[in-house]
Amino acid sequence: MNKPEMTAAILAAKQRLGLSWAAIAASLEMSPVWTTSACLGMNSMAPAVAERLCQVLELPAEVSLALQACPHKHWDKAVPTDPLIYRFYEMINVYGDTIKTLIHEEFGDGIMSAIDFSMDISRVADPKGDRVQIVLNGKFLPYKSW
């Protein structure tokens, strides 16, 4: 079973069982963001976590094996057409250089890791309409001189 087939099986089981990503993640004692990403094929799961997910979703062992496989992280289009994902591209276009400049000013020459990384997505109540809060937390990795 490949990653796209795995994701299709997971999404079908999630819908059939009426579970949310938060509920699935809670059953695994993992983050909803990371759990969703792994189920969509962009991260791999440890064997025990993959097996537990398959128990929760009543899926066969072949799904567990696909969850454990290292992903090939790729994007299939230069600029996505999905409006929500496109807005992230827009944010990076508008604020990317600002983010880079401020990180370099605070930490020096380096990058924020997307490997040693966590993310939290939450709802913030606002009288003018609820807001989406996204917190990205990545380890700073300085560039080396040699």
- 122 catalytic per annotation: no
- 90 catalytic per annotation: yes
Choosing from 16, 87, 118, 131, the catalytic residue is 87
The span from the CA of 62 to the CA of 68, in Å, is 10
The span from the CA of 143 to the CA of 35, in Å, is 30
Choosing from 16, 20, 113, 118, the catalytic residue is 113
AA identity, residue 83: P
- 58 catalytic per annotation: no
Choosing from 16, 62, 90, 131, the catalytic residue is 90
Q: Where are the beta strands (DSSP E) in 27-130?
A: 110-124
Active-site positions read 87, 90, 113
